[in-house]
Amino acid sequence: MLSKKRNSGIKTLIDEVLSEMASVEDDGRYELLLERLAKLYKLNDSEGSRRVSPDTQAIVFGNLLGIAIIVGYERANVVASKAMSFVLKLR
């Protein structure tokens, strides 16, 4: 919840900087605002990058399902195999 509050605060600051940039006529002040905007966008991107991508979730789920199927089959029918060799490597 704290990260959502912080993220919304950063978005508010971004909006304020953009609105101020629209009304600025001085080139020096515009450059300063542009640098602040770049820093705010960088902060905003770093806050949202903590999630696991859906592709990675699908790979992990598929690997676990495959291992469960192999182990279940080996439990019912005694066959010596190595379930770990079928697991896809994460990128």
- Is residue 80 over pLDDT 60? no
Query: Which letter does DSSP use for residue 86 in this model?
Result: G
Contacts of 60 (CB under 8 A, 6+ apart): 90
Distance, in Å, from the CA atom of 60 to the CA atom of 67, rounded to the nearest integer, reads 11
Reply yes or no on whether the pLDDT at 65 is more than 90. yes
Half-sphere exposure of 88 (CA within 13 A, CB side): 14
Higher-confidence residue of 2 and 49: namely: 49
The runs of H, that is alpha helices, within the chain are 2-23, 27-48, 54-76
pLDDT, the chain, mean:
79
CA–CA separation, 34 and 18 (whole Å): 9
Q: What percent of the chain has pLDDT over 90?
A: 21
pTM (two decimals):
0.45
Q: Are the C-beta atoms of 66 and 87 separated by less than 8 Å? A: yes
Confidence bin at 1 (pLDDT 50/70/90) = very low
